[in-house]
Amino acid sequence: MRWMVSVIFLGIVLSGCSTMPRLFQSEAYIPTAQLYQYFKPSEPVIQPGDKITVSIWGHDELSIGSVNNTFNANESTGNWLTVNADGEVNLPKVGRVRLAGLTVKEAGFYLEQRYTEYINNPVINVKVLNHYVTVLGEVNTPGRFQLNNETPTLVEMLAQAGGLGDYGDPTEVEVVRNIRGKTVTWKVDLTAVQGLATKNITLQPGDIVYVPPHPNKQFRESVNKATPIVSILTSLAVVISVLAR
């Protein structure tokens, strides 16, 4: 009877084992030197279609979605401006200004120069509301995370997502980036301390971080599911053995 229980256990485990398809399939091989160029640290720039706020310290009447008071803006409030197809926004006093192609720091400095005609020593903060990184796969809190003008590293973003889950494979974490319409993937082995500083990529808006499942995930899940059934069968086998004496 015990051998039968073992056979049933093995059958349940094997039936649950199959190759899991990967969420992202790699494209043609890209030389490492070229990957470094695609993933080198750089500050994100403002693009047409971006939703921005402009905060002018001490001048809420001129600000759009000021970060300096309790009426701060986010995408749900509608208190922001959209950069038009020409890369411009229309601001109080100064009118239309082109911000596309500038980082948020450059945009803030440029607007401070424009507003000196109306304000003494203006302090201006530009914020992009729709810059996100998406974290998928075997993490504890997958989702879309707003960058808030920051440029987090891969490790920092994984921390925001609650870290890797029980079945996450730390040896093949992927960063997927769109480069001029081409999807490029960088794979990082987080268990390799040597070289991690180089591979701890600075993320960009639109990046996707994907933590694939460990190869033995389905086996472990099958074992966990089969264990209660095997326990019941083992108990029944013991009872039957006792009654048969």
> Residue 225 domain-assigned?
no
In 3D space, the residue among 224, 169, 167 whose CA is nearest the CA of residue 13 turns out to be 224
Taking residue 183's Cβ as centre, other Cβ atoms within 10 Å add up to 13
Residue 172 tokens read as: 């093949």
* 145 & 186 share domain: yes
Q: Is residue 234 part of a domain?
A: no
pLDDT at residue 25 greater than cutoff 60 = no
For 66-94, give the secondary structure using H, E and C. Answer: CCCCCCCCCCCCCCCEECCCCCEEEECCC
Give the neighbor-by-neighbor strand order of the sheet with 51-56.
81-82, 51-56, 124-128
For residue 90, give its domain range: 51-128
Query: Are residues 122 and 73 both part of a single domain?
Result: yes
Q: Are 39 and 57 in a shared domain? A: no
CB 204 within 8 A of CB 131: no
Q: Which residue has the tokens 């030197």?
A: 33
CA 126 to CA 53: how far, in whole Å? Answer: 6
| pLDDT band (50, 70, 90) for residue 148 | confident
Is pTM beyond 0.85? Reply is no
Domain boundary pick from 112, 128, 144:
128
pLDDT of residue 222: 52
List CB contacts of 159: < 8 A, sequence separation 6 or more.
none
Angle, CA 108 vertex, CA 40 and CA 104 arms, to 5°: 25
How large is the average pLDDT for residues 196-223?
Answer: 79
Q: What single-letter amino acid sits at 82? A: T
Residues 86 and 74 in one domain: yes
Statement: residue 142 has pLDDT above 90: yes
Question: If you average pLDDT over every residue of the chain, what do you get?
Answer: 80
Answer yes or no: do 26 and 69 share one domain.
no
